[in-house]
Amino acid sequence: MVGLIIAVLALYTLQTYLPSMIMSRALGPKALHHAGGPRDEPLPLTTNAGRAQRALGNMNEALFVFIPLALLAVHFGLDNGLAWWGALVFLLARIAYIPAYITAIGLTRSIVWTIGHIGLGMMVVAVLSAG
């Protein structure tokens, strides 16, 4: 379980850089000049950078649920079984959520989000069963 917690936090860290990376690619030196300055006025985000920023905001909300559940799973020694599989489902769905959000293909984002929350639900059931 600890490995999955670290993997989710690594994904979160990568996600924090993604909007800036997209902006740098789209704007080139202008984005770098802005990033090196006082940033008094924010640059308007490109469509994809805005989507990446909103996906990050959603990850902030999801982490608020995932981290306590994962720590409770560690506390109860739920290193395999439903809690572990739920955490894995959550991680894989969060990985898929980023491109699903940025590409905006139909209902893909909502489906992937739902799968991630099913993983959280699996963790809830495991933790409640252990407590």
Tens digit of each residue's pLDDT (9 = 90 or more) over 61-104: 999 999 999 999 999 999 889 999 999 999 999 999 999 999 99
- Going by the DSSP 8-state scheme, the letter that residue 104 receives in this structure is T
The alpha carbon of 107 is separated from its chain's Cα centroid by a whole number of angstroms, namely 18
Q: Which helix (H) or strand (E) holds 27?
A: helix 2-27
Question: What's the number of domains the chain is made of?
Answer: 1
Distance CA 88, CA 61 (A): 18
CATH number at residue 94: 1.20.120.550
pTM for the full model?
Answer: 0.90
Residue 8's nearest CA partner among 76, 79, 64 is 64
The whole domain housing 6 covers 2-130
Are 23 and 43 in contact by the 8 Å Cβ rule? The answer is yes
